[in-house]
Amino acid sequence: MTTTPDSRSLLTVIILGASGDLAKKKTYPALFGLYLRDLLPSNTIIYGYARSHIEINDFKARISKGLKGDEEKKKQFLSLLHYHSGKYDEKASYDEFEKLISAEEKKQSGVERSNRLFYMAIPPSIFIDVSIGIHGSLISKNGWSRVIVEKPFGRDLDSSRELVSELGKLFKEKDLFRIDHYLGKEMVQNLMVLRFANAVFEPLWSKSHISSITITFKEDIGTEGRGGYFDQFGIIRDVMQNHLLQVLSLVAMEPPVSLNADDITNEKVKLLRCIQPIKMNEVVLGQYTSDPEGKIPAYLDDEGVPKDSVTPTYAAAVFHINNPRWRGMPFILKCGKALDERKTEVRIQFKRPDNFLFSDDDISRNELVMRIQPGEAVYLKLLSKKPGLENKIEQTELDLSYRHRFENLDLPDAYERLILDAIKGDHNLFVRDDELDVAWQIFTPLLDQIEKEKIKPEPYTFGSRGPKSADELSKRFGFIRSLGYNWPGNSPQGSKKN
Ligand SMILES: NC(=O)C1=CN([C@@H]2O[C@H](COP(=O)(O)OP(=O)(O)OC[C@H]3O[C@@H](n4cnc5c(N)ncnc54)[C@H](OP(=O)(O)O)[C@@H]3O)[C@@H](O)[C@H]2O)C=CC1
Ligand SMILES: O=C1O[C@H](COP(=O)(O)O)[C@@H](O)[C@H](O)[C@H]1O
C-alpha cells in the first residue's frame, strides 16, 4: 500500500451493517479495489459491525467470495479485516466496540491521528439509531470522523427532512457523505466534460435544436428475493428519484461558476427548482409478470411481496423544466426491472434541420447517445451519403466506444471512487441536503397520489420492453424512433433486437 502524505495518520474504516448484501457486494469489493490500486492509506484497519454473530474466519470467507483479483493480494487485504457483533440501538454495544477499535489503533506505532470513516450499509429505519451510536461512542478523539450514508434517504419529503434534521444534530454537513452511486460512474462524470469542454455541443444544447431528451435505466433481472424491501419503495424511489434525477440535473443544468462542489450543486438545485409538478397523465407505471414460459417468477411471486401489491417495478414520466433553455421541451425518464436488456443511457434527439432538402421517407433524427452502462460509449447518429453512385442517404454514426478507443480500459467501480473521495474529504460527488430536499419536493406529490389512489400498474412480461403505454408516451412527446439503423458493432446474433 502507499504511504499517505501524512504517515502519522491512521485510517479506520467502520462498516455498519457488515453482514448485509450491500457490504458484501459493494462496500468490501470497493475497498479491495482501492487496496489493489494502492489508494488506501498505508495504515488502514477495516472493522465490520452488525447484529449477527459471525466468526472472523467465516466472515472473511463470506467477504472473500465477492473479491476479484490476485489471490496473494486478497489474502493481504483479508488480514486487515475485523468483525464485531453488537446491537444497533444500545450504547453499551457501541462502548464495547469503541474499546476494541482503540486497542487495535493503539497497536500501530508512531500514529498521531486516528481518522475514522463510517459507512452505513444499513436500512434507513436504523439510520438514526446508528448515528446516535456513532456520535455517542465512536467519534475519533484525535482525527476526523466522516459518515457515508446510503440511499434511500427517507421515503418522502417529511421523512427525508426528519432524517436530515436528526443527522444534522449529530454531524456537520461537511462530515456527511450521502451516496448516490450513479455520481461515481465514469460516464456520469463525463457528462460535464462533454457538455462544457467541447465547443460543438453547447450552442445546440437547448429546446431550439433538441426535440426530446430520454434518460433510460433498464435491468434484465427482477427483484430476486429483495421484493420485501423493494415493495416498500417501488421503482420511482429506488431509481428515478435519485439516480435518474442526478443524471437529468447534470444534463440540463446551466454551466456552473467553477468545478467547486458547491458551485456545481448550486446549479443542480437551481435546475431542479424549475421542474414543474409531474402530471399523472404523463406517467406510466408497470409491474412485471412471469416470462412467457412461466419459468421466472412474477414480481408478485417474489418473497415478501404481498399478493395484491400495486408497487410499480417500471415507471416512465415526462418532466418539464420551466426555464429559458428548456421551456416546452420534454425530458422523458424511464426505469424498470425485468426488461429485455441491461442499459442506462441518455438519448438526446435533435430536431430535423428547418430546410430539409432530402427525401421525406427518412424521418430519422440525429441522436447523441451517452451510454452509461454497460460498455460505456458516446455516439452521434447522423445521416450521411451512402457511398457509391447512388444518391441515397443512410443512418450512420460517429462512435466513441470506450473499449475500442482506450487501451487497457480498467474503470474503477463507482463505489471505489466515492469511498476514495470521502477519505479525501471531497464532496463533489455526494448529495447535498438542499438537493435532496428539492428532489423529494418533486416526487412526493406524485408518490402520494399513486399511493392514495392505489393506481394499478400495467402488467408487462418479464424480459419484454416494458408496458406498451410507455412507448406511446414517448411518441406522444415527440420521440421518433429511427428505423433501419444498423450498427456494425452488433454481432450477427445482436446483443438484443427489436
Ligand atoms: N458504440 C456502441 O457501442 C454503439 C452501439 N450501438 C448499438 O446499436 C444498436 C442500435 O442503436 P440505437 O438506435 O441507438 O438504439 P436502439 O435501437 O436500441 O434504441 C433506440 C430507441 O428506440 C427505442 N426502441 C427500441 N426498440 C423499440 C421498439 N420495439 N418500439 C419502440 N421503441 C423502441 C429505444 O427505447 P429503449 O431505450 O426503451 O429500449 C430507444 O429509445 C443498439 O444495440 C446500440 O447499443 C450503436 C452505436 C454505437
Ligand atoms: O440503487 C440501486 O441501483 C441498482 C442498480 O445499480 P447499477 O449500478 O447496477 O446500475 C438497482 O439494482 C437497485 O435496485 C437500486 O436500489
Q: For ligand 1, what atom is nearest to the CA of residue 495?
A: 43
Residue-wise pLDDT for 423-446, tens only, equals: 999 998 999 999 999 999 999 999
Q: Which of 465, 480, 486 to mutate to test the pocket of ligand 1 (most atoms within 8 A of CB)?
A: 465
Judged against a pLDDT cut of 80, whether residue 397 lies above it is answered with yes
Confidence of residue 1 (pLDDT cuts 50, 70, 90): very low
Residue-wise pLDDT for 83-101, tens only, equals: 999 999 999 999 999 999 9
Rg for the chain (alpha carbons), in Å?
24
What's the CA-to-centroid distance between 339 and ligand 1, angstroms?
14
Q: Could you give the percent of the chain with pLDDT greater than 90? A: 84
CA distance 326 to 319: 10
Q: State if residue 64 touches ligand 1 by the CB under 6 angstroms criterion.
A: no
Residues 6+ apart with CB under 8 A from 298: 288, 289, 290, 462
| Mean pLDDT in residue range 466-493 | 87
Q: Which of 243, 320, 404, 427 is catalytic?
A: 243
DSSP result, 196-210? HH-TTTGGG-STTTE
Residue-wise pLDDT for 311-367, tens only, equals: 999 999 999 999 999 999 999 999 999 999 999 999 999 999 888 888 766 678 999
Q: Indicate the pTM of the whole model.
A: 0.94
Confidence of residue 6 (pLDDT cuts 50, 70, 90): low
Residues 6+ apart with CB under 8 A from 31: 13, 40, 46, 77, 419
Q: How many helices (H) and strands (E) does the chain have?
A: 16, 15
Residue 390 confidence (pLDDT): 86
Residue type, 256: P
Residue-wise pLDDT for 370-390, tens only, equals: 999 999 999 999 999 889 998
